[in-house]
Every structure is written in C-alpha cells, then in structure tokens.
Amino acid sequence: MATITLTRPEKRNAISQQMIEELLSALDEVEKSPARVLILTGEGKAFCAGMDLETLSGLAKLSREENLADSKRTARMFRRLYFYSKPTIAAVNGAAIAGGTGIATMCDFTLAAPEAKFGYTEVKIGFIPALVSVFLRRQVGEKRARDLLLTGRIFGAAEAQALGLVNEIVPPEKLMARARELAASLLESSPTSLSRTKLLLRRCAEAEMDGEIELAMQENAAIRSTADFKEGLAAFLAKRKPVWRGN
C-alpha cells in the first residue's frame, strides 16, 4: 500500500497550483509502483481547506485563456482521482472544504474523523462549484446535490455519512490504522479483479462525464470575469460581507 499526504499544515493543506502538480506527479508514481492500494490523507488539523488564498487572490487578474488553463488543471486532478486505476482510500483527519471536499469524496472509500467538516462553499464567494457538481450528482443524487451546491452550507461527518459521501466515521487516533486495515482487506482480493472492476466503472461513466467536465471547465473559467466573483473574492479576502450586484 502507498500513502500520499497533503503537507501544507500551516495553510491547512490548501490547494495551490504547486500542490496540484505535485499530487498528480505522486499519483503517477504510485500507479507505476508495486503498491496496489492508495491512502490519501492530510497533515495537521485539516485535510484540505480548499483553494489557497494567494491562489484565489490572483484569479480575478487572469485572462480568460489563463483561467481556462487553471480550470483544466483542477479538472485533471479531480478526474485523475475519480478514475484512478487502483483502489483509493481517503483518511479525512479534519476540515475538507470546497475543492478539499472534492478530493476527499472522489476516492473509492472515505473515512472521516468525527470532527471532519465538509462543504461546497463556492456560491458564498461568487464562484461556481462547476467541476465538483459533475461528480457529486452521481454520488448523492440530483436533489441532494442541489441542496449542497446551492446553499454552500458546511456539514459534519455524520451528515456526510448519511448522504453517502463518507463510508465510516473513525476516532482520530485510529483513523490511519483503520485506513491501513481497509487497505489490507483489499490486498486480499485478486489484483486483476480489482483493476478490471475499476476499469469497468471508468468505462461505464467516462464518455458521458468527459462532456460534462468540459462544460464545467468552461463555466468555471467564465464566472471569474463577473462582477459578483470579483466582489465575492475581495470580500472573502477582506473578511467582510459581500455586496452582490447580481450580474
């Protein structure tokens, strides 16, 4: 088994361009290795607090082409995790917000500490949960996805489990041990069967989802030029209430 740890504890393991590139590189490395199961976790008190503030502050200054390239990079990370060739286990040790919720719930199995928090909070800052919506609708259904995406509310591990986004709630001191125990049980199965099952799941969904991901990337890039996005971003960074213009 292999373990990848998001390691920016001073930033609550927030997502930056560098983190995305390093995570993609690590996924490639594990895929080529003898490891047959991957565990993904975070260092410190958070699993992943969403987009890095420095990265966020620069989004409104990018051109449409640059924003589209940034959106494609994020989409590539989510798609890679969702369609990964080996079984994946997320050990969610703390808050997993926005894109962090995406990373945590796109794994095959999601274990969470009781204090873990989740939420697709993009609408709160004038953004759009475009990319994660493609995956979330398949995981929890249309009605529940609309609730989570339109309200942007934070919800706990117990609700996440009830929604089907979390498989098990595990005491924090036992979280990694339980992840390794689950990985060990997967190692008892036929590696050929596991890999072909994952390939089947990918082939069943890939063609339809790729079209939706393309649309989501376009929407993700397009909203960044709106007045509401710029106001929401400025308000978030200044820790004040946004004044929406509605366009």
One of 21, 29, 31, 122 is an active-site residue; which one? 122
pLDDT at site 101: 98
Task: Convert the pLDDT of each residue in 151-175 to its tens digit.
Answer: 999 999 999 999 999 999 999 999 9
Q: Answer for the pair 209, 134: CB distance below 8 angstroms, yes or no.
A: yes
Of the chain, the end-to-end C-alpha distance in Å amounts to: 49
One-letter identity of residue 171:
P
Q: Helix (H, G, I), strand (E, B), or coil: what is residue 242?
A: coil
pTM attached to this predicted model: 0.95
Domains of the chain are 1-171+190-247 (3.90.226.10)
Six token digits for residue 99: 């894109």
Tens digit of each residue's pLDDT (9 = 90 or more) over 106-116:
999 999 999 99
- Interhelix angle for 191-222 vs 64-82, to 10°? 160
What pLDDT does residue 247 have?
Answer: 66
Cβ count near 175 (within 10 Å): 21
Buried/exposed 197-211: b ≥16 CB within 10 Å, e otherwise: ebeeeeeeeeeebee
pLDDT at 61: 83
What DSSP element (H or E) covers 26?
Answer: helix 17-32
Which residues of the chain fall short of a pLDDT of 70?
Answer: 247
What angle do the packed helices 130-140 and 64-82 form, to 10 degrees?
30
Q: What is the token pair recorded at 29?
A: 């490395």
CA distances from 226 to 16, 59, 62, 128, 184 (A): 22, 12, 12, 11, 48
Cα(53)–Cα(237) distance, rounded to whole angstroms? 7
Q: CA-to-CA distance for 48 and 11, rounded, in angstroms?
A: 9
Phi, psi of 206 (to 5 degrees): -60, -50
Residue 208 a catalytic site member: no
